[in-house]
Amino acid sequence: MQRSTLFTFLYLALGVCLTAIAFGYPNLPSGLQTSLLISAGVSYIACIFNPFWRERTIRFYRRRRNSSVILSSLVIGLTIIGIIWEVLSQNWAMEAFLGAFSQLIIVLGFAENIVIIRQVNSEN
pLDDT band for position 67 (cuts 50, 70, 90): confident
pLDDT at 2: 56
pLDDT at 9: 92
Question: How confident is the model over 101-114, as a mean pLDDT?
Answer: 90
Over 90: is that where the pLDDT of 95 sits? no
Question: How confident is the model over 98-113, as a mean pLDDT?
Answer: 90
What average pLDDT does the chain have?
A: 87
pLDDT at 1: 38
Over 70: is that where the pLDDT of 83 sits? yes
pLDDT at 63: 76
Cα 18 from Cα 99, distance rounded (Å): 10
Q: Which residue type occupies 113?
A: N
The three-state DSSP-derived secondary structure of 15-61 is HHHHHHHHHHCCCCCHHHHHHHHHHHHHHHHHHHHHHHHHHHHHHHH
* Residue 114: CB atoms within 10 Å: 15
